Amino acid sequence: MNISTFFEHVIDGYGEQLLWYAGFAFPFFIIFWMVGKRYFKKIRIQETQRANLHHFTHDLGFSASTFLVFAVMDVCLLYLESKGYTKIYFGINDYGYLWLGLSFLIILFIDDMFFYWSHRAMHHPRFYKFFHKVHHESTDPSPLTAFAFHPSEAIIEQLMHVVLPFLLPLNFGVILAWQVFSMLNNVLAHLGYEIYPKGWVKFPLLQFKTASTHHNMHHQLFNGNYALYFTWWDKWMGTEFKEYETRHEQIFERKHIKKSNEGLYSLTVADIRQEANEAFTIEFGNVPTVFRDFSAGQHLTIKVNINGETLYRTFSISSIPNSDNSLTLTIKKIKGGKVTNYLAENLSVGDSLEVTAPSGQFFLNPDPAHQKHYVMIAGGSGITPIYSMVGTILNFEPKSKITLLYANRTSNSILFKEKIEKWVEKFPGQLEVQHFLSEEENPQNAIKGYVSRISIEEILNKYGKNKLDFYLCGPEIMTNKLIEDLQYLGISKEKIHRELFLITAQTQATTSQKAQVSAKIFGKTHQFETQVGKTILQSGLDQSIPLPFSCQSGLCGMCKMRCTEGKVMMKSNQALTENELQEGYILTCQSIPQTKAITIKNS
């Protein structure tokens, strides 16, 4: 075979490979991720979609390079087969029907074994970035992810298809069936939706075939569930995630989870623990997956009824995503705070609370491939979301480092003190903590005073500003000053992330006018007029319009609606993303009309 003929065969083979990919991956992507997205939401594995256009284009690009590698390897195999070097045969009677079926099972077993061990090897820190990092770009995989490999990994993935025909007599039809089975299995493993039925993971024989949830958990949690076709290697080697069966079963139990007309969930209190500084932790047990599959740093809103008055308050989640089957909120009592004091004094184990699903734009999603350096700055109870972030990084992003600067009045007011100290001991090269105490003389192992520009400069001098990402949570006066300091020191806005756990009253003057609002809510249209100086939500509630809402502070996003006509000005926004803003979404609790006619809808 001359070079010209070789390239011709590669081009032909590449075209065939792309057609195979399009025939398998595209229909599933169109059906589940586009056309039937709402209908199939009930069987979505990760309830919160994290995949976006960036991930889809990334997967398509690397899939294209993967099939070029496959085509080159296949042409080499076919050339050697034409020279008689392989054991490929075409007549069934050459080895009989028994070997035909048995050989198919044997190659599946060998391929599965090779994949498990090579997959685990590619997760080793020494090899990961050279082979497997590209594939793990998608923590929420889609069918397009199925063959998104770095070229070096593509060679390994295709290796058994090239090697086994030299070792075993294989009918060409068996090889073709193997290719079809492998491609279909790969697409379903990355589907993002669970199509294997309820009970699959517990049935005596079927439980050894991996369900879609099995590999999806690998993409999300990284260090487990390495299998390809069958679960036995993970079971034998102790690398199967302990919650695999539970997660699979819970997907089918979602339809039994009842929500109120406001879309609130009812959670049962499993434990209440007292913390430092008049804070307490509420633990909810056996929570739905949406309360385990959140992003570290997010919050939720609680609804309570106090003496006939319905109140809503938003609290950050202190538990670590995907770590167990519970959810915790750590809340500090506030002087004069109706809801915090009510919860502290009246809530008991066994009680139920109505809560929203987790939300918020102050969050991070870990990537095992990242080698970042996070600087976390917290003040008082602002440690709550930061604590969740730190725990998430330590558990799921082992190559990244964390510097935690934590400010309190005294050492007795430090929340999670013992747990943080244990983390420092357990992860000595990954986590460093510096405490700041403003009202304690001669503090031990702490700095007297506040987190200041000098403190930040010391970190910049030690590590360099280009390597650091800053996350801030604490009183507004503290975080405002720190943001000024960071920008003065040359830190770009993209590197600074802030959460306000206490929102101060709006003091900026806003202009508004009366407006006729047409609001489409759950298919029914309501008409009402706004009042000067009031938000759309305030005006609507005054006239008994059933607008969705919760915290009324621009934090939770429960009042999010799409504005299709007119303009508004939002006083605050801590919930909407840039994409949602571009699509016309507003927070009615923060929106002041700027035109005489406003049309909004909740979908």
pLDDT tens for 167-204 read 999 999 999 999 999 999 999 999 999 999 999 999 98
Task: Note the helical H segments in 347-452.
Answer: 383-396, 417-426
For 544, other C-beta atoms within 10 Å of its C-beta total 9
| Ramachandran category for residue 383: left, alpha or beta (phi over 0 → left; psi -120 to 50 → alpha) | alpha
Architecture of 516-601 per CATH? Roll (3.10)
Confirm or reject CATH 3.40.1160.10 for domain 265-355, answering yes or no.
no
Confidence band for 512, pLDDT divided at 50, 70 and 90: low
Residue 493 has pLDDT above 80, yes or no: yes
Q: For CA atoms 334, 317, 493, 390, give the dihedral sign.
A: positive
Q: How far apart are CA 301 and CA 281, in angstroms?
A: 15
> Which CA distances in Å does 512 have to 527, 534, 548?
19, 8, 22
pLDDT tens by residue, 51-79:
889 999 999 999 999 999 999 999 999 99
Confidence band for 508, pLDDT divided at 50, 70 and 90: very low
Which among 47, 50, 49 is positioned nearest to 292, based on CA atoms? Answer: 47
Considering all CA atoms of the chain, what is the largest pairwise distance in Å, rounded to the nearest integer?
Answer: 91
What is the mean predicted confidence (pLDDT) over 572-597? 84
Residue bearing the bigger pLDDT, 554 or 483: 483
pLDDT tens by residue, 22-49:
999 999 999 999 999 989 999 999 987 8
| In the block, residue with structure tokens 């599959």 | 293
Q: For CA atoms 260, 318, 336, 270, give the dihedral sign.
A: positive
Instruction: Give the pLDDT confidence score for residue 505 in this predicted structure.
Output: 34
Instruction: Give the pLDDT confidence score for residue 517 in this predicted structure.
Output: 95
For 345-384, b/e burial (b = at least 16 CB within 10 A) is: eebeeeeebbbbbbbbbbbbbbbbbbebebbbbbbbbbbb
Instruction: Give the pLDDT confidence score for residue 292 in this predicted structure.
Output: 86
Q: What is the dihedral of CA 74, 75, 76, 80, to 10 degrees?
A: 100
Instruction: Give the pLDDT confidence score for residue 293 in this predicted structure.
Output: 84
Instruction: Give the pLDDT confidence score for residue 509 in this predicted structure.
Output: 39
Residue 473 has pLDDT above 60, yes or no: yes
Question: 170 is written with which tokens?
Answer: 């294989």
Enumerate the CATH 3.40.50.80 domain ranges in the chain, comma separated: 373-500
Enumerate the CATH 3.10.20.30 domain ranges in the chain, comma separated: 516-601
Q: How far apart are CA 35 and CA 404, in angstroms?
A: 45
Confirm or reject CATH 3.10.450.750 for domain 373-500, answering yes or no.
no
Q: How far apart are CA 342 and CA 61, in angstroms?
A: 55
Residue 511 has pLDDT above 80, yes or no: no
pLDDT tens by residue, 134-155:
999 888 999 999 999 999 999 9
Residue bearing the bigger pLDDT, 387 or 289: 387
Enumerate the CATH 2.40.30.10 domain ranges in the chain, comma separated: 265-355
pLDDT tens by residue, 322-373:
887 789 999 998 888 889 999 999 999 999 999 988 887 789 888 877 889 9
359 DSSP assignment = B
What is the mean predicted confidence (pLDDT) over 84-93? 94
Confidence band for 448, pLDDT divided at 50, 70 and 90: very high
Confidence band for 260, pLDDT divided at 50, 70 and 90: confident
Question: 243 is written with which tokens?
Answer: 């919650």
pLDDT tens by residue, 95-107:
999 999 999 999 9
Q: How far apart are CA 167 and CA 155, in angstroms?
A: 18
> Which CA distances in Å does 363 have to 320, 354, 374, 383?
12, 23, 13, 13
Confidence band for 228, pLDDT divided at 50, 70 and 90: very high
The number of CA neighbours under 13 Å toward the Cβ of 131 is 16
Question: 546 is written with which tokens?
Answer: 């059933």
Q: How far apart are CA 294 and CA 339, in angstroms?
A: 24
